[in-house]
Amino acid sequence: MEFLPLIWKQHRHREDFNSCPHCEAPLRWIYDGERWLPCDEEPVLFVMHPTGRVNLVYEKKVIEKCLLYRKGDRRCEGKPLWAYRQHYYTCPVLKARRAEYVRARYEGIADKCTQALPPEPITQANIFGALKKIKEKAAAEGASRLEEGDLPF
């Protein structure tokens, strides 16, 4: 088994590689004064917005609550700025590993419940759909509140 170094959101020291060891994408290392941030090589346009869910590196600082700029998007008001995305969020291999970790945790919790794990992939819609079915079932049976064993996760 080949050892591959991990890519984190931040590193204490700058690593020796200039491309992602998992997906081979080129990296740009940005020092924010305390730590090194591995980012994608290409910058992206963004605007700051209270409902934004993207973290970006702008002027050597991590900025939260950003929206990626899309021309014509009504939420994207103001002048767009250039920033870098941390590679931790864009690497397809790391995304797959995080999804597998969540799936494994979900399966471990689901084994303790009476209901079977759904065969479809875990999404927010699937979880809310399962909760809706459980609430409807509880309402039909006249239960006033959900018990701990009623949840599939």
> Which of these, 58, 3, 108, lies nearest to 17 by C-alpha position?
3
Please tell me the distance from the alpha carbon of residue 19 to that of residue 41, in angstroms, as a whole number: 9
Average pLDDT of the residues in 30-54: 92
* Cα→Cα distances 147→58, 64, 132, 150, Å: 46, 37, 14, 5
pLDDT at 151: 53
pLDDT of 37 over the 90 cut: yes
Other beta carbons less than 10 A from residue 46's beta carbon = 22
pLDDT at 3: 63
Tens of pLDDT, residue by residue over 71-130, are 887 777 788 999 999 999 999 998 888 888 888 887 776 555 544 444 555 566 666 677
* Residue 54 CB contacts under 8 Å (≥ 6 apart), including other chains: 46, 66, 67, 68, 85, 89
Please tell me the distance from the alpha carbon of residue 72 to that of residue 90, in angstroms, as a whole number: 24
pTM above 0.75, yes or no: no
What residues are paired with 19 via a beta bridge?
26
- Residue 144 banded pLDDT, cuts 50, 70, 90: low
- Residue 141 banded pLDDT, cuts 50, 70, 90: confident
Q: Max alpha carbon distance in the chain (Å)?
A: 62
Tens of pLDDT, residue by residue over 13-35, are 888 889 999 899 999 999 999 99
pLDDT at 25: 94
pLDDT at 116: 47
The residue with greater pLDDT, 138 or 41, is 41
pLDDT at 1: 45
Amino acid at 92: P
∠ CA 85-91-92, nearest 5°, is: 140
